[in-house]
């Protein structure tokens, strides 16, 4: 799904949030940030593009 324009990423974000309700995705002025809760803290992922953030977040939920 890489390289898809921003507007087309909104449904992708919504689907990701439905599948992973524990994750918080926010826009912070100039960057997108995703927070994945963990038993010992949290994983924070920051990217300039929403598509890049979703790619990175999906990697955390994909089995090795």
Query: pLDDT per residue over 31-62, tens digit each?
Result: 999 999 999 999 999 999 999 999 999 999 88
Of 21, 19, 6, the C-alpha closest to 51 is 6
Of 42, 53, 45, the C-alpha closest to 6 is 53
C-alpha 8/C-alpha 22 separation (Å) is 23
Contact 23, 16 (CB under 8 A): yes
Contact 34, 53 (CB under 8 A): yes
Enter the pTM of the model.
Answer: 0.83
C-alpha 37/C-alpha 20 separation (Å) is 11
């Amino acid at each position: 799904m890489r390289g898809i324009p921003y507007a087309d990423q909104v449904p992708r974000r919504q689907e990701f949030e439905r599948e992973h309700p524990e994750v918080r995705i926010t826009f912070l002025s100039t960057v997108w940030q995703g927070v994945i809760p963990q038993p010992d803290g949290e994983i924070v992922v920051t990217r300039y593009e929403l598509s890049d953030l979703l790619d990175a977040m999906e990697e955390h939920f994909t089995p090795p």
